[in-house]
Amino acid sequence: MSKIMVQGTASSVGKSILVTALCRILKEDGYKICPFKSQNMSLNSYITLDGKEMGRAQVLQAYAAGLEPEAYMNPILLKPTTDKRCQVIVKGKVYGNTSAMEYHELKPIFKDMLKEDFMKLESEYDAMVMEGAGSPAEINLRDRDIVNMGMAELVDAPVILVGDIDKGGVFASLAGTMMLLKEDERSRVKGFVINKFRGDVDILKPGIDMIEDIIKIPCLGVVPHFTLKLEDEDSAITFNNKATNDIDIVVIRLPHISNFTDFDAFSCEEDVSIRFVRDKKDFGSPDLVIIPGSKNTIEDLLFLRDTGLEDVIKDYSNDNMIIGICGGYQMLGNTIKDPYCIETNEKEVKALGLLDIETIFEREKTMTRVEGSLINISRSKNSIYGYEIHLGKTIKSPQIKSIIKINKVNDKEESSYDGGVNLKGNIMGTYIHGIFDAPTFRQHILNPIRKKKLLEERESPSYESLREKELDKLAKIVRESLDMDKVYKIINLK
């Protein structure tokens, strides 16, 4: 079976995007490819058509491979709830909440499962393109590793090592990583890639020759620094805080912000810029404020209170528009009740009081893909889609009207309603992540802002079409940067 694993000298060196590129390149060359990351730690997650949860990085990789995202591409997902605890998702379903040490003790149990599942996938695809996590040189984790060299050994996968030159020290990081690997692990590394290079490659070549001589593995290529409109991995995201276009949208940068990929679709809109703000002095005078999803809604609500952002948001709400997504929707209400102390020891917390709703956390987690339409909108194109990942049920007063009629849940016909808007129409919330991917909803939100600012109204473009074009650009950049003959030899494909 053909396979390859991309590991990195550290987090955010570009493993995810290089796996994405390889998936698209191999797809372009006619192969049936499957991305695979045994364990991902991320607050950016996604719900598959069968109602399972997985990391967003593998979703993009699946699209690059021309596949519908499936939870088996990311069998273990860790979602941090505090600095020392996380929710563990196994095969798309909640396994439980554990401390770091408790999870470390569970790894041997998961190892057999990962091998069995991987072997099944091998028989269904021409090749597997695997991604490691962090660095393989975390020597304190080596004995129970299931995501880097431990996983490569489990399935006998060759490894490409990636180093990031943009921050400096790439040669030291490559040499240091190789030095800390065991002899059998070093033998798995078949080549290295220098990523995010700016400048003249000819100036770099003497250093490449020297590092090849030191670590005894060949350089497969130098990938230039580039900017594309594609999702960033969690650790690589740069939260912009400056307005650069006519329409200024502020997203509150919560300490436990989740699914910040919800806002990537705004990159389709040439007159829109997104700012992430976590200090009231940076709030400014935006055209729209969005309170995003959160992995710890109560703690993030208290953050707004403690930092003074709550008062700023309330003042802003008098004459301006605010949208809450998932946890942000819950924060807009009157109260949040947590009778089982799922998030904190606070059983009831006063919320922002901007929508006449209250939320009660429940033990069971809602994980669904949904499709529907905006209510009371006469438009030929009126399609809303996305996914829900939340704890809790929200109860609305009669004055709060639903904004979305849902007609399909997990690809099955089902009728229900989502979200709420006040009578004035300027405060609204929804449980649907990815809702801005739908051109209908973006246009519904942005055109009234354009009209108010005397800007030309526009039809919102498809984010999916943009993503496909950007994936093709990514594949072209990486294909031209790497020695693909050597890469194909490592993968064991013609």
Active site residues: 326, 433
Cβ proximity of 432 and 388 under 8 Å: yes
With beta carbons less than 8 A apart as the criterion, state whether 247 and 269 touch: yes
Two tokens, residue 229 = 């409109």
Give the burial string for 360-397 (b: 16+ CB within 10 Å, else e): bbeeebbbbbbbbbbbeeeeeebebbbbbbbbbebebe
Token duo for residue 47: 């719900």
Buried b (16+ CB within 10 A) or exposed e, 321-347: bbbbbbbbbbbbbbebbbeeebbeeee
Q: Which two tokens stand for residue 242?
A: 């400056």
Contact 122/95 with Cβ under 8 angstroms?
no
Nearest in space to 262 (alpha carbons), one of 143, 438, 16: 438
CA 19, 22, 28, 30 torsion-angle sign: negative
Q: Would you call 84 exposed, middle or buried from its count of C-beta atoms within 10 A (0-12, 13-18, 19+)?
A: exposed
The alpha carbon of residue 53 and the mean position of all alpha carbons in its chain are separated, in whole angstroms, by 12
Strand bridging mode 76-80 / 39-41: parallel
